[in-house]
């Protein structure tokens, strides 16, 4: 993001001049290999050599561009953030949050799960943890539009002296899905995405997640 254009050494993971050129192809091959190795063996099993072999590139190429396993993890998380992801738009807050939760649950229960592998990696590497924190912050920020739309539609009460803390509402709606699948390792409950969404909407309608207007300013 901040590397100067006349730099001769590309920054770790930064795209070079020709998108779609050889550099982009190598990056795609290497990151595919990182995802496959992560899903198969977890972050402890990740090595530059293993990634290079699976990607079919020379390991010095990997060392030069990504330096180490931490650099590979950061770039695979950055690539997830570059995906053209759009939050759902079903016409109601409950529908939107249910669709979001279904997408989350799906990404967590598929085997092997890249999403779970990334979380495991964030326990393993401080660098990966920071990259993942940025990715999640971006995704929750993107989802605030769901709450804004619901307020505009009049689905949630507008209150004079308070405003709705959209992020708290989004976390209340989505956290139970992560909690059940990732931390409690319960069998995925197909009704949970809708139930967790409905509970958060009921709480919001009853005045939860309202904060004094000055607080967020």
Query: Interface residues with a second copy (CB under 8 A)?
Result: 42, 44, 119-120, 122-124, 129, 132-133, 136-137, 168, 171-172, 174-176, 178-180, 182-186, 195-196, 198-200, 202-203, 205-209
Give a three-class secondary structure readout of 89-146: CCCCHHHHHHHHHHHHHHHHHCCCCHHHHHHHHHHHCHHHHHHHHHHHHHHHHHHHHH
Give min distance, CB of 115 to a second copy, in A.
Answer: 11
Give the residue with the Cβ less far from a second copy, 14 or 135.
135
Give min distance, CB of 2 to a second copy, in A.
Answer: 23
Q: Which helix (H) or strand (E) holds 44?
A: none
The residues that bridge with 162 in the sheet, in sequence order, are 212
Cα–Cα distance measured from residue 2 to residue 155, given in angstroms and rounded to the nearest whole number:
41
The residues that bridge with 163 in the sheet, in sequence order, are 211
Give min distance, CB of 59 to a second copy, in A.
Answer: 23
Angle among Cα 74, 139, 62 to the nearest 5 degrees reads 15
Tokens of 58: 């020379």
Phi, psi of 212, deg, nearest 5: -60, 140
Give min distance, CB of 184 to a second copy, in A.
Answer: 5
Give the residue with the Cβ less far from a second copy, 21 or 216.
216
Cα–Cα distance measured from residue 112 to residue 214, given in angstroms and rounded to the nearest whole number:
45
Cα–Cα distance measured from residue 206 to residue 169, given in angstroms and rounded to the nearest whole number:
12
Give the residue with the Cβ less far from a second copy, 55 or 209.
209
Give the residue with the Cβ less far from a second copy, 40 or 44.
44
Give the residue with the Cβ less far from a second copy, 31 or 104.
104
Contact call for residues 44 and 124 (beta carbons, < 8 A):
yes
Give min distance, CB of 65 to a second copy, in A.
Answer: 25
Give the residue with the Cβ less far from a second copy, 25 or 213.
213
């Amino acid at each position: 993001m901040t590397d100067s254009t006349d730099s001769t050494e590309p920054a770790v993971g930064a795209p070079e001049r020709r998108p779609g050129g050889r550099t982009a192809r190598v990056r795609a091959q290497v990151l595919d290999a990182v995802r496959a190795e992560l899903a198969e063996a977890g972050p402890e099993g990740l090595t530059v050599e293993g990634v290079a072999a699976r990607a079919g590139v020379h390991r010095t190429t990997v060392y030069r561009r990504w330096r180490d396993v931490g650099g590979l993890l950061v770039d695979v998380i950055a690539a997830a953030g570059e995906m053209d992801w759009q939050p759902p738009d079903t016409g109601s807050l409950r529908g939107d949050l249910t669709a979001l939760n279904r997408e989350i649950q799906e990404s967590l229960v598929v085997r092997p799960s890249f999403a779970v592998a990334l979380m495991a990696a964030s326990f393993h590497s401080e660098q990966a943890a920071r990259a993942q924190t940025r990715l999640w912050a971006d995704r929750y920020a993107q989802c605030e539009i769901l709450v804004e739309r619901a307020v505009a539609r009049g689905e949630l009460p507008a209150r004079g002296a308070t405003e709705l803390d959209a992020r708290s509402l989004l976390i209340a709606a989505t956290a139970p899905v992560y909690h059940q699948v990732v931390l409690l390792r319960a069998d995925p409950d197909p009704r949970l995405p809708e139930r967790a969404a409905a509970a958060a909407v009921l709480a919001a309608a009853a005045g939860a997640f309202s904060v004094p207007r000055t607080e967020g300013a």
